[in-house]
């Protein structure tokens, strides 16, 4: 049984990009879909689509490359089941001097640290990407 499915998703994306794969398949969950949609909005991955139904539902993620290199330089889990990390709106991290993105789960949904600051929301800092 897997306890940290978000870390598994991030590892699948990281490994697929390092192996120069065109896409990667991840088991479906609404949280994972929301995180991947934020990645797509920020330009780190291409298309994100959910396929199948029921227990066999999966997310297909198209990876992006620029001049043969993966767009994602670093992808790291921050909050995890054994140690949850919550931050208020004033304490949200700035990743790589503002060049990266922290993904935050707020009461208004999953969003970037910049969007959470703009809405005045804090929450659980799920991961960082740059």
Question: What is the reported pLDDT for 98?
Answer: 86
Location of each CATH 3.30.1490.10 domain in the chain:
75-129
Q: Which two structure tokens, joined as six digits, stand for 34? A: 């929301």
Average model confidence (pLDDT) for the chain?
Answer: 96
Location of each CATH 3.30.1370.30 domain in the chain:
5-70
For the domain covering 5-70, report its CATH number: 3.30.1370.30
- pLDDT tens column, 35-85: 999 999 999 999 999 999 988 999 999 999 999 999 999 999 999 999 999
Neighbours of 99 (CB within 10 A): 9
For the domain covering 75-129, report its CATH number: 3.30.1490.10
pTM summary value? 0.94
Helix (H, G, I), strand (E, B) or coil at 42: coil
Does position 1 have pLDDT exceeding 80, yes or no? no
Q: Considering only 9-13, 51-55, 113-117, which range has the smallest mean pLDDT?
A: 51-55
């Amino acid at each position: 049984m897997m306890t940290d499915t978000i870390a598994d998703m991030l590892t699948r994306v990281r490994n697929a990009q390092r192996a120069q794969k065109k896409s990667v398949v991840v088991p479906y969950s609404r949280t994972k879909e929301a995180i991947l949609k934020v990645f797509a909005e920020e330009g780190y991955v291409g298309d994100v689509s959910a396929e199948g139904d029921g227990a066999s539902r999966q997310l297909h993620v198209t990876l992006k490359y620029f001049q043969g290199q993966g767009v994602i330089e670093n992808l790291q889990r921050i909050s995890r089941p054994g140690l949850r990390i919550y931050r208020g709106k004033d304490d949200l991290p700035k990743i790589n001097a503002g060049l990266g993105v922290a993904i935050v789960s707020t009461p208004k949904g999953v969003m970037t640290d910049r969007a959470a600051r703009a809405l005045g929301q804090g929450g659980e800092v799920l991961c960082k990407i740059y």
